[in-house]
Structure 1
């Protein structure tokens, strides 16, 4: 539940003041100003940030990301996005005040530096009515200059109070334990910087509440930059199964899900697989494997997304060897070739008898059970979307089960020819 305080209220003024005094905020404001000029670059860039994320432990509570903001796959410097929330209630846990996210891409052409910055500041976190954390901040920065790619993660926390007492700030590998309330850890940091790119991510702190073992991550920031954008920017995914229906209780997936990196995979085939997928016990789904590849040079960008399912069984229906594949090539002059070559279905069996695979635009119906469509292909302006098998259940739920899903688009790079 989000509670937005009136802008004129004294509380809101206090929260706003607290936000502006969080360590590191000045740099974020400078980044905002530096991001005024939009410039297309040779880099693929991404940034995300959020205030809190809760995982429930023995207490059945979950909370999505608060004050979430992102810059997705882009090659454009000069982007600046923000998300400010005055207050958020974490049901049964407490409240977070003064949440502020800044994500930026910017460039300094004179210095030859292109940067991605994600910063998240939280003015105050109150948990259980007893534990208070103030001025929590994380900042992830990646950049490229004449010396190559670089990364940096900065995290800080202003103070910890509980029961009227002040506690020291945790240090690496030395958490702070507050008996009967919580254990507070310095947040994790990770990343890399090599000749192909840089990635940096950090959580300012992690709080584990007692006795529920509920985990709260506070002030998350992540930034990424990679070279390799020459002709196009990839946008694609593959997943084995997805269930959608009007009834919110009848949903699942996408599972397992693979995303294509913005710049592609440098010609390497990446794979992800699972032994099986549970669709609420209604459909038995065998092993699923996703494969994807994207590469580009100065003339073209090309790639594929693919998802294969060994087989599925639903009542009298059995389908073997389901595969969806989306193939796209973008040429420097803007031409796009796309097709679903490689999309196949091994066999459809109903009550032990093989059935003809319905051609595109037609369907096989099992009265009272389902309607089956095969090779559902949608060409888009920049690519193609493929579903190998689509089942529409006729049980009144309106559920649609998509089996074998692949989608790929290649956007223009924006790099000068």
Structure 2
């Protein structure tokens, strides 16, 4: 059988998510502009439906990485050679990733790190593995020639079968004492005066399994100088399945974002994420105070939400972003109670997507009093000497809907903003497949 294969090489094979780098200061200068507008032609709020054949589906989840290191809440080295297929109903995936090694001496050094992730349709199975060579932790207190973690979850007639078969600890030595290659799950070994190691760490649920080959904790002030609350993981593999579902969902919402081309100057604010299997009907909320980016953008309080349910017969998903007030470019665009609302559903063979619930409390654009809070979806405003303004922008792609209530794209340098600057306010994205 041919399998959908992805090799990540030395690149991280992870799902794209909004990033939040630091903000940059934008100069304060006066703005005098001319404004022209192109109004959408009586377009109603976006809504669409589509039909597709339905078959019994399972949601596969899985991820793997070689190493991870943190001191307290500060990550010193993120996941190495990471792989994930996130949440999918595709039972024909094969992914691999390999890197030459990790050097975070004296906390952690390794040789080659390799990871794999697979899904299978018959039998229904999620399988992942991570293998890390030449492991040296805490300046040699913990050593191994190879640490491999393996995790699989298989659907059976009576439920799920979980397995860590393939997990091995080759030539493992902890505190000078050799450890069996087939050490029992969750074996704890103390490191006198430093902390402890959990070998073959396993966390099981009804329908999923996480295996970490080694998990090291530093919990004592020590003569070696390793910081208390140091946390090291070597070779982690996670697999899981969810009982028959009609499909999976995705989505997120954020209050603001500013970027120049691919350079993010102010990341997505207070993002709320929609898990692929929903929230069980529970509303998830992420709120925060306003954003202040010089004369480019100032806002009031931001509240973002995500909510969804999934079963064998239906999906209902919704994300929202509500920004209490926004002021772009010294009053060029002003609005209050800006709400983006993106909804997606599937019942039987029918998909539906909508922006119902999206609205402005008030809205003004300098030089054009005809623009009000009742502005039609997908209204485009050409602003002389500045760029293009999109209002209540609705973007429909295959299996998803994106709502951006305010989006300003700079095409002429103004107020210290470079060409290509993109300012977004109140954004919600929801997908169903």
Shift of the alpha carbon at 1:276?
0.2
Could you tell me how far apart the structure 2 residues matched to 1:249 and 1:329 are? Answer: 32
Could you tell me how far apart the structure 1 residues matched to 2:421 and 2:107 are? Answer: 35
What residue is the counterpart of 2:319 in the other structure?
Answer: 306
Alignment of 1:285-364 (within 5 A): 285-295=300-310, 298=313, 301-314=314-327, 319-330=335-346, 332=348, 336-348=351-363, 356-357=372-373, 359=376, 360-363=378-381
Could you tell me how far apart the structure 2 residues matched to 1:406 and 1:166 are? Answer: 54
Alignment of 1:69-84 (within 5 A): 69-84=83-98
> CA offsets, 1:234-261, max 9 Å, x none?
3333334433334746141363231242
1:123 aligns with 2:121: no
Q: 1:319 to 1:96 in 2, by over 3 A?
A: farther
1:396 aligns with 2:417: yes
Shift of the alpha carbon at 1:328?
3.0
Alignment of 1:243-258 (within 5 A): 243-246=258-261, 248=263, 250-253=265-268, 255-258=270-273
Alignment of 1:14-413 (within 5 A): 42-57=57-72, 62-90=76-104, 93-108=107-122, 113-127=123-137, 130-134=140-144, 135-152=146-163, 157-161=169-173, 165-166=176-177, 172=186, 174-177=188-191, 179=193, 183-186=196-199, 189-193=202-206, 198-208=207-217, 210-213=225-228, 214-230=230-246, 232-246=247-261, 248=263, 250-253=265-268, 255-262=270-277, 264=278, 268-276=280-288, 279=291, 283-295=298-310, 298=313, 301-314=314-327, 319-330=335-346, 332=348, 336-348=351-363, 356-357=372-373, 359=376, 360-363=378-381, 373-392=390-409, 394=414, 395-397=416-418, 398-411=420-433
SS in 1 for 2:245: coil
CA contact (8 A) 1:273 1:287 kept: no
Q: 1:128 to 1:203 in 2, by over 3 A?
A: closer
Shift of the alpha carbon at 1:377?
0.8
Shift of the alpha carbon at 1:290?
0.7
Question: Unpaired segments of 5 or more residues in structure 1?
Answer: 5-39, 412-417
> CA offsets, 1:126-173, max 9 Å, x none?
34654452132322222221111343457654455589x346689858
CA contact (8 A) 2:94 2:116 kept: yes
Q: 1:159 to 1:75 in 2, by over 3 A?
A: same
Greater RCO structure (CA 8 Å; 6+ sep): 2
Could you tell me how far apart the structure 1 residues matched to 2:227 and 2:292 are? Answer: 27
Question: Unpaired segments of 5 or more residues in structure 2?
Answer: 1-8, 11-54, 219-224
Count how many residue pairs are aligned between Structure 1 and Structure 2. Answer: 355
Could you tell me how far apart the structure 1 residues matched to 2:153 and 2:89 are? Answer: 14
For the aligned residue pairs, the C-alpha RMSD in angstroms reads 4.1
Is the helix fraction higher in 1 or 2? 1
Could you tell me how far apart the structure 2 residues matched to 1:41 and 1:302 are? Answer: 14
